[in-house]
Structure 1
Amino acid sequence: MAGTTRRGWGMVRRLPSGRYQASYVGPDLARHNAPSTFAAKVDAEGWLGQQRRLVDLGVWTPPGAEPNEDDHDKLTVAVYARRWLEEAQGRLKPRTIVLYRGYLENLVLPDLGDVPLAELTAPEVRRWRAGLDPAYPTRNANAYALLRGILAQAVDDELLPANPARVRGGAVKHRKHEPVALTAAEIRELAAALPKRWAVVALLAGFGGLRIGEIQGLRRRDLTLTDAEVSVTVRRAVVRVAGEWRMDRPKSRASLRTVPLPPGLRPVLEAHLREFAEPGRDGLVVVAAGGKGVVHRDSIAEPFKRAAASIGHPTLRIHDLRHSALTLWGNAGATLADLMTMAGHTSASMAARYTHSTAARNAALAAKVWEQ
């Protein structure tokens, strides 16, 4: 029996033969049928989706019309990539959008932007990837991964038959800096060498594995300091976007977590709150030197560099303290699930499928790392 399915855009009709016909009203206000019928309804819907995508990108031509070279050239890599980024605004964090835009405008589009999307080839992508400055391996890997993701969407949109971004190892990040893992004693020594108001940064990163942006965003109410529990709950992180500090959710859902801390940190944290934190439950734990507002990372960076050199680790970075924390937990007997949970890695849920981490176990591990 023939039937018609109306959609939000376009129409699919089942013919008496059992095949499906797809049609839509185009920008020219005329109804256009697919050039052939389809054996399956999903194929008809796929054709409609492709036509709608072309309309959205501004490169649509009526089905069956003579190809227009000017219209073909409109859908360049630059046009498609910028539209992809515009559509990503609602699902990516502001800082990520800024980074992606930088990769596109500074690395990808100057070389590949004018290439018609449908004509982009694997050798062209390979040549572009090989031509990136090898002095910046992480940046290059991120730019390539972004391009590969954009082109994967073009394949899904049926604008490309296959993804031309097929560079083996193109998205692999090679470390220029080998992270330094401090002992518990060295972390305490580093904290003592820092100006007193910044010591808590080294302790929270070195024993709790917090990222610097997470430490910047901590409020008093995020700390639990009792006889029964010493912990920090990560609910937000600070990022700098367009020259402004923004308080946002952490990097991922897994980053929303409660991390047990060594009980030995309790008197240090209590003293810090009395002397340096903003008042009230929502007061910032780590505050700018003026006594109010989010601290700029540069304010900590120079004192940190001097303190690191003074304990014999001139190449130490603040982020290395997170690596130090994970190493300490691992040495204390933490399982993979323990480490994933504490670090807030996105694969924590996957690790939890085959091993388990409990709050009591984590608290015991936190106490143990203090003595290493």
Structure 2
Amino acid sequence: ALKLLRLSNSTVYNRGEQCDSIKKAVLRIGGSQIKQAVMNLSVIDQFSCSDAMGGLDTKHFWEHAIACGLIAGRLAKPRGDEFADSAMTMGLLHDIGRMILAHAAPDEYRQVLETARSMELPLEQVEKRMLMMDHAEVMDRILRTWQFPKALFNPIVFHHLSAGNIRRTVPQESQEAATLALANCLAHAMLLGSSGNETIYPIEDLCDMLRLDPKQLLAIEREVPDETSDLKFSMLSRSDLGSWTERDAEWADAFGCEFRPLVVSLKPEFDSIRILCERLKDPMQVGKPNIALVRIRNARDRVPVGQALVDAERAAGVENLPVIAISAGGELALEHGLVSKRVNRNMRIPFAMSRLVRTVREVLEEQERTLSAAA
């Protein structure tokens, strides 16, 4: 009952006046939503019993889930309140399969996590290879057992598919599945919690598939971090929140150097790398960019992205920045004439955060050696 009251007074449902009774909380949340809200809170309670389960940090796990739910709800809002409510529930529950695997086989799942981190691979890929199933597949049977609405099943089970594979696999529920998939990718890029998977995914194709308004995405970037912070206090036990750490601050510290990126792409509004770097930015940091991260979606982009880089450097008052070219296969680079005098690396996306940190360090160290040798 106390959590229901806190939930009704969170930024998601708050209408100005504080709720001070369960009756008011039910009226504010809404009759059609209250059953789902209670079920969501029950699931969270069931899997929040310890700080670590099979190597998973439960605090960061639920922060990621809450962020994903909030983002999914916002993405679905233009389709109506009912769609937004379902989307939020899907976001909250999308990674519960990981908790179930970690609870059922803690030692084995700890090895899965360690392997994913050491090999810098997406966690779902390592789950599949080592356990012969991933966390999303576990959810099909679990959701049926828990008697959740059938409309939730496929979007949760297929939330790691690409936009093209979503269209082919679940054509009748492609919008719902793409909404959840994008929400998950955005929660990763915004470094809001962690489900144990420290991977950054591309989002352009999902944004195109959903015909997302750039203004909607900017509002999500601006508002969801604070909403997530507020809602985690409403939905989780306050005793669980004492030693909470912020993932964006932890990763910013992990670079161990001045990281002032100039991010360049042809669709910056739908670029997960730009979103990531905005979250890593220190508002107190001053100075011109010292490294360029360029997103190349296909071979046709190489020339226009190269020109965009030159234009962005000119606007920033710099030239010949060291550059990391990021593409799906990690093989696309800027044209030779543009990188021949630069320190440069290629990197694939999806990528582990640890891979980005390591590559940035290598590039900046080589740049420093190059400048010292030329002096």
TM-score by length of 2: 0.29
Higher radius of gyration, 1 or 2: 1
Higher helix share: 2
TM-score by length of 1: 0.29
The structure, 1 or 2, with the larger RCO (C-alpha pairs under 8 Å, 6+ apart) is 2
